[in-house]
Structure 1
Amino acid sequence: MAKWMVANKKADFDRLAGKFGIRNITARLIANRLINSRETEAEDCSDEAVSRYLDGDLSLLHDPRLMADMDLGARIMYERIQAGDKIRVIGDYDVDGICSTYILARGLELLGAQVDYVLPDRVKDGYGLSIKLVDEALQAGIDTIITCDNGIAASEQIAHAKDKGMTVIVTDHHEVPFEISEPNSDITGDQEDSRVEILPPADAVIDPKRADGDYPFKEICGAVVAYKFMQVLSEFFEDSSDKLGNYFTEMLIYAGLATVCDVMELKDENRVIVKESLRLIGHTENVGLRALIHQNSLDEGKILCYHYGFVLGPCLNATGRLDLAERALKLFFEEDENEAAMMAANLKQLNDSRKDMTKLGVDRAIEIVEEQKADYAGELPKVLVIYLPDVHESIAGIIAGKVKEKYYRPTIVLTKAADGGAKGSGRSIDKYDMYENLSACKELFTKFGGHKMAAGLSLPEENIDILKDRLNQNCDLAAGDFEPTLHIDMVMPLKYADIDLVREFERLEPFGNGNTKPIFAQRDVVFLSGRILGKNRNCGKYRVTDESGRIYEMMYFGDMDKWHDYLSEKFGHDAVDDLYSGNTDGSMKVNVAYYPDINSYQGRESLQFVMNDFL
């Protein structure tokens, strides 16, 4: 259960509804997503802003040249292609790294470059550019390296490449490393620390988060940076339209897929890119991507953000976790349908194995967290640092995310690294900047990087307990920060929802981080009967009613143990048994957070409600 906060944003909902042909309820939802503050509500929810939100197209994408070094990097790459250099794209082993590598490698190939690609082995190479990868490129006769989704923190590795006479271009989207300069006193006598960015010594460093750039929207993924780099590079070629054909249209699919899988906020141009990606993917010409869609039994015409984040994305990620990410990348380059079908099947099998391994790791991590309470006077540590030496290092981040969700605390999961020491990933909560707090302990690490909500790190085993103590001693989170907040759009009786309204909500898609699916609240929903469903008995289906006397269907896909504990505590164990036997007396009234949905079964559609939370 979370702390509920009902939005109270103001706008002329009736006028917006009339102007844009939507219901008042939908107008309220749009205002909730656009308005940032009372002071800016008129501008945030202007007709122009609402029009951009509902009908924004590719004309809203920002000028790539506003990124520092973008024009310089493209010009250098053009010159290297013209000179006949051997070029290597070095990406990362997650979905963003795979997609950005594909965007660059495919585009450079079409423009006539001598190009190949390498994705690091998670275990042998670690994250991003390494000395080993640089040396292997030298041995292969590579003249130019272009990174994607990595490189901003690879100063040592890039310096090594430059010492060997290589050209290096960085395209990345991660936080720029920094140092805090000595405090300066201003005229008021206040002390103010200033950050000094540490850029790698590459020939060009392209990252929207650079302080000296003018790019208006910083929160784009590596694949979008790569896409924009190719846009600028193509302008140097007079015949680029002939060479590239529909390249930029097709590559929007991968930019959108990476945006969702890297959990970028679906605001500004990200929203446009993902919307276009979802529109285009059903018509993709890529044999490998089509095979992956079919292997997961997806309807090409009805692919949603959910399928990106929880079906297709995990299959691609599984290769980088349990095998080599280049297998996923080769799927995108595959042109034989039979071969692509076999490759896609292997990716799905890998992901199924990853799911089993993850469950075992999460169970063990929860045991350790409960054991740690003894060291903190019976309370949970503010920051969870969990060492699972026997867990495959590739799933540390997934385990950290699931433990974070259960306890709602910043969580770092570490495993024994193949090359010695410990290695792992962290996942954070809204009130805790993980990158900044790890930066304060950077002398403990052999390597680390990331951003506010997630990070990766390597360190000697003997530093694990030191890290746990330091992070907890320096943590200023208060008790209320450990209670997640569920943002409710409005209180709305169930009877106000219908299938037409749910279809109107489709205009607000794509839903995801930064543009959540609508959530409503209703008091005193009466639970009449229920069934537990699923192979692992992990969801419930209920008949409910409200003051109108109508009967509705409600689903719950959350933590069933927590739901049953809540019902038992409030109504008693016998009442829970009565619920599932259909013998309730109408007294089981629950405050419910929900969203309305459409259930399609054997060609018939019906309204159903999905419960998000309960009080």
Structure 2
Amino acid sequence: MSKWFIKGSKVDYRIISKKYDINPIITKLLVNRNIDEKDMHKFLNPTYENSVHNPFLMKDMDKAVDMLIDSINNYEHIRIVGDYDQDGNSATMTLIDGIMIYNENISYAIPHRVEDGYGISKRIVDSAVEEKVDLIITCDNGITSFDVVEYAKSKGLKVIVTDHHQVKNENGVDVLPMADAVLNPNRQDCSYPFKKLCGAGVAFKLVQALYDKLDGDREYMLDLLEYVAMGTVCDVVDLVDENRYFVIEGLKRINNTENYGLKCLIKETGLKTEVNTYALGFIIGPCINAAGRLDSATLGIELFLEENMLKIEEIAKKLVSLNNERKKLTEEGLEKVEKIIVDENLNKNNILIVKEKSIHESIAGIIAGRIKEKYYKPTIVFTSSSEDGILKGSGRSIDEYNMFEEINKYNSMLNSFGGHPMAAGLSIKEELFEEFSSLLNENNPLEEDDLTPKIYLDSQLYANELTFDIIDEINTLEPFGKGNSKPVFGDKDIKINKLDIIGKNKNVIKFQFDIRNRLMEGIYFGDVSELLNYLENKFNTNNYTNKFVDIVYYPNINEFNGNKNIQLVIKEVR
């Protein structure tokens, strides 16, 4: 059971509400999300003019654009080097589509997850030299590719790095690759006002700067936000500031897209509703990611670039099929990892470190994330690699544990390592696995309270006072995601009138509540058996009629057969 907290702020939202004529509930939600009062109207009504920053504020942008224009004017061969995930795919497409209107002498390369590893490789550089490439532009990678960028320069190539990952820092000084221009808002010497762009976002800034300089077609440029929205949502960056505009505008364009590849993929997934952030993050994005996990990430690019309609339809079918295979492999791997945790009594440890060599290395991170969610403990899943005697691991963490810092203490034991506080990728000699696991657990800083999940409520809100208008107001904060989480509220002393288990797999609980003499419907999508066991233990009966509970919920308008009603989506019950 989670601990519940109500978010507190020293800012008086009621004063701000009156000052700016914004609904008090909405003002409180904005304050809770640390939106400055002067930015609230912009947040609620983002436009190109009020949300999109001047790209030339980014360090090296002037150099990058001049070099790019020079390459365009001389019809030089430009190669985009992306990455094998959704953000890398989106960034690659943003640059190809954005630049191609000026120079069709453009190609791309995507690293192979196993053969190349992450980012630009010497193999990719050698191929570029052989194919007489003049300018390489990396996207969503390159900021730590010191040796490879130096190698590319030694071969006479011009290199522009565009990336959003953390910059290596030694003794307080940024260490940058020896590229001709390095675009990354996280550089210490970069005055760009928004630091949370994804790889596709940084790529878009380069295209925006190019179009500003060449007086390009803004509408054509804004169509690129179809890709940027996908990258922004799937790379789980904060949906505030510029990113908020990118996603809102990108979703509008996705839902009216002329891109046959995207249309085919949406159709093939069986998606019946309008595309929203959930559809991007959990239905469409994973299909493109699956190509980089189980096949070739170039499939995701081909989907958008291919002109033969039959071939496009085949690619869309293959991407959905690969994602279904990925889901199956994930479930099988998850089962194996959970069995190891039980059999080896690993749950006694604060850090769950599991070795299961049969798991495909590309899904180890997904499984680690699922285990972390279930146990609320930092989790690292190791599997075999293409190198004999070497294990590859992927980790996911909780807010209370800085995984990067803690693993970095034992960096000397590792063959490779990278990441950030919430996730890490690493490799290690198999003979050192047990020692590494013991060291991380024996020296971990976590207390019992750290390992208790926490829910932070936006406020107490009497559910019986909800109206369609209030819910519509709350929904003006969409799209929800990292940095702008879906609002959750709490209410106490709710009487259960009725409880039914529904759904084809009996995996949903439907409540009828009596909330201060108003009958309301609640729906729960969590672990059904766990909640029923909890209620049975609390009430010493499996008859819950007339029993009282507290709830954490968010309000939803449910439409069915033309009828609309207010529904409470239940996050937790106590």
Give 1:31's aligned residue.
31
Residues 223-234 of structure 1: matches in 2 within 5 Å? 223-234=200-211
> In the alignment, is residue 603 of structure 1 matched against residue 572 of structure 2?
no
Give the SS at the match of 2:316.
Answer: helix
1:500/1:610 CA distance change after superposition, 3 Å: same
Distance 2:406 2:19 in 1: 47
> In the alignment, is residue 395 of structure 1 matched against residue 395 of structure 2?
no
RMSD: 2.3
The structural deviation recorded for 1:519 is 0.7
Residues 256-405 of structure 1: matches in 2 within 5 Å? 256-298=229-271, 302-373=274-345, 380-405=348-373
1:445/1:136 CA distance change after superposition, 3 Å: farther
Residues 503-522 of structure 1: matches in 2 within 5 Å? 503-522=472-491
> In the alignment, is residue 91 of structure 1 matched against residue 82 of structure 2?
yes
Distance 1:413 1:252 in 2: 35
Match of 2:115 among 108, 121, 124: 124
How many equivalent pairs are there? 572
The structural deviation recorded for 1:276 is 1.5
> In the alignment, is residue 133 of structure 1 matched against residue 105 of structure 2?
no
Amino acid of the structure 2 residue aligned with 1:227: F
1:289/1:208 CA distance change after superposition, 3 Å: same
Measured against aligned partners, the alpha-carbon deviations of 1:466-515 in whole angstroms (never above 9, x if no partner) come to: 43233334432332222222110111222011222212212111111111
Give 2:146's aligned residue.
155
1:166/1:469 CA distance change after superposition, 3 Å: farther
User: Does the 8 Å CA contact 1:91/1:97 hold for their aligned counterparts?
Assistant: yes
1:465/1:169 CA distance change after superposition, 3 Å: farther
Measured against aligned partners, the alpha-carbon deviations of 1:318-352 in whole angstroms (never above 9, x if no partner) come to: 11111111111111123444443332222222212
- With 303-312 and 91-100 compared, the bigger mean Cα shift is at 303-312
The structural deviation recorded for 1:53 is 1.7
Residues 539-554 of structure 1: matches in 2 within 5 Å? 539-546=508-515, 548-554=516-522
Give 1:591's aligned residue.
550
Distance 2:240 2:151 in 1: 38
Give 2:440's aligned residue.
471
Residues 455-534 of structure 1: matches in 2 within 5 Å? 455-534=424-503
Give the SS at the match of 1:446.
Answer: strand
Structure 2 length normalisation: TM-score? 0.93
The structural deviation recorded for 1:12 is 5.5
Give the SS at the match of 1:246.
Answer: helix
User: Does the 8 Å CA contact 1:381/1:472 hold for their aligned counterparts?
Assistant: yes
Give 2:417's aligned residue.
448
- With 285-294 and 15-24 compared, the bigger mean Cα shift is at 15-24
1:151/1:250 CA distance change after superposition, 3 Å: same
The structural deviation recorded for 1:415 is 1.6
User: Does the 8 Å CA contact 1:319/1:328 hold for their aligned counterparts?
Assistant: yes
Residues 148-227 of structure 1: matches in 2 within 5 Å? 148-179=139-170, 181=171, 195-227=172-204
> In the alignment, is residue 55 of structure 1 matched against residue 55 of structure 2?
no
Give 2:572's aligned residue.
613
User: Does the 8 Å CA contact 1:528/1:586 hold for their aligned counterparts?
Assistant: yes
The structural deviation recorded for 1:395 is 0.8
User: Does the 8 Å CA contact 1:369/1:380 hold for their aligned counterparts?
Assistant: no
Distance 2:485 2:212 in 1: 37
Distance 1:433 1:530 in 2: 41
User: Does the 8 Å CA contact 1:87/1:142 hold for their aligned counterparts?
Assistant: yes
The structural deviation recorded for 1:88 is 1.6
> In the alignment, is residue 415 of structure 1 matched against residue 383 of structure 2?
yes
1:445/1:105 CA distance change after superposition, 3 Å: farther
1:19/1:339 CA distance change after superposition, 3 Å: farther
Distance 1:370 1:167 in 2: 54
- With 153-162 and 333-342 compared, the bigger mean Cα shift is at 333-342
User: Does the 8 Å CA contact 1:22/1:504 hold for their aligned counterparts?
Assistant: no
Distance 2:173 2:345 in 1: 39
Amino acid of the structure 1 residue aligned with 2:29: L
Give the SS at the match of 1:455.
Answer: strand
User: Does the 8 Å CA contact 2:98/2:224 hold for their aligned counterparts?
Assistant: no
Match of 1:433 among 395, 398, 402: 402
1:154/1:14 CA distance change after superposition, 3 Å: closer
1:408/1:398 CA distance change after superposition, 3 Å: same
Match of 1:555 among 516, 523, 545: 523
Amino acid of the structure 2 residue aligned with 1:517: K
Measured against aligned partners, the alpha-carbon deviations of 1:132-186 in whole angstroms (never above 9, x if no partner) come to: 222222233323221111111211222222222222221111111233x4xxxxx
Give 1:564's aligned residue.
532
Give the SS at the match of 1:34.
Answer: coil
The structural deviation recorded for 1:21 is 6.1
Give 1:41's aligned residue.
none
User: Does the 8 Å CA contact 2:80/2:92 hold for their aligned counterparts?
Assistant: yes
Give the SS at the match of 1:343.
Answer: helix
User: Does the 8 Å CA contact 1:128/1:151 hold for their aligned counterparts?
Assistant: yes
- With 528-537 and 327-336 compared, the bigger mean Cα shift is at 528-537
Give the SS at the match of 2:393.
Answer: strand
Give 2:221's aligned residue.
248
- With 170-179 and 340-349 compared, the bigger mean Cα shift is at 340-349
Distance 1:177 1:470 in 2: 25
User: Does the 8 Å CA contact 1:87/1:145 hold for their aligned counterparts?
Assistant: yes
1:465/1:4 CA distance change after superposition, 3 Å: same
Give 1:5's aligned residue.
5
User: Does the 8 Å CA contact 1:372/1:380 hold for their aligned counterparts?
Assistant: no
1:497/1:318 CA distance change after superposition, 3 Å: same
User: Does the 8 Å CA contact 2:84/2:289 hold for their aligned counterparts?
Assistant: yes
Distance 1:166 1:466 in 2: 44
Give the SS at the match of 2:567.
Answer: strand
Give the SS at the match of 1:423.
Answer: strand
Give 1:186's aligned residue.
none
Amino acid of the structure 2 residue aligned with 1:586: N
Q: Percent identity of the aligned residues?
A: 40
1:270/1:260 CA distance change after superposition, 3 Å: same
